[in-house]
Amino acid sequence: MLEANRRYAAGFDAGGRPAAPARRVAILTCMDSRIHLESALGLDIGDAHMIRNAGGRASGDAIRSLIISSRLLGTREFAVVHHTDCGLLNATNEDLHARLHAETGVDASHIDFLPFRELRASVVEDVERILADPHLDPAIPVSGWIYDVDTGALEPVLAPATRGGHTG
């Protein structure tokens, strides 16, 4: 990886771009290594904020990142992108707590891993969580999507909506 970085840095010509994303969008998605939304959406360096975590969930830290992205860096659109074959699909907090305790001997019952049973419902839940956050501008539209890890295709789940109502 370091050799690859040396080659990359030798031809790097995208320096000096502003921290604010050029397309004024922030995308919340999963950390899954099979997802490369920059390529799937035709995004270049500096185009969008990519916020990743396990499951692409609208956790407290993801919301914190969206607040910074919009309030400090000018994003005006959010997208939630979950995906097929996610490791959190059909997992349970209880199973994850038990596994961690068995492997580490440490109690993890205070951690909510935000697992889910239904993919489309998890997208809706996260869009609603973002729309409900009082620190985010209610005029910012939030859309929901499912990425298919086998085909690379995006399926719309929720058209862009704002806290005040539907926008698209």
How many Cβ atoms from other residues are within 10 Å of residue 20's Cβ? 13
Nearest Cα neighbor of 38 from 61, 14, 64, 70 is 14
Domain positions in the chain: 21-87+118-161
Contact present, 160 and 167 (Cβ < 8 Å): yes
> What pLDDT sits at residue 165?
65
Of the chain, the end-to-end C-alpha distance in Å amounts to 42
Model confidence over 90-138: pLDDT tens digits? 999 999 999 999 999 999 999 999 999 999 999 999 999 999 999 999 9
Q: Which fold has domain 21-87+118-161?
A: Beta-carbonic Anhydrase; Chain A (3.40.1050)
How many Cβ atoms from other residues are within 10 Å of residue 86's Cβ? 22
- Residue for token pair 């697992």: 115
The pTM assigned to this predicted structure is 0.93
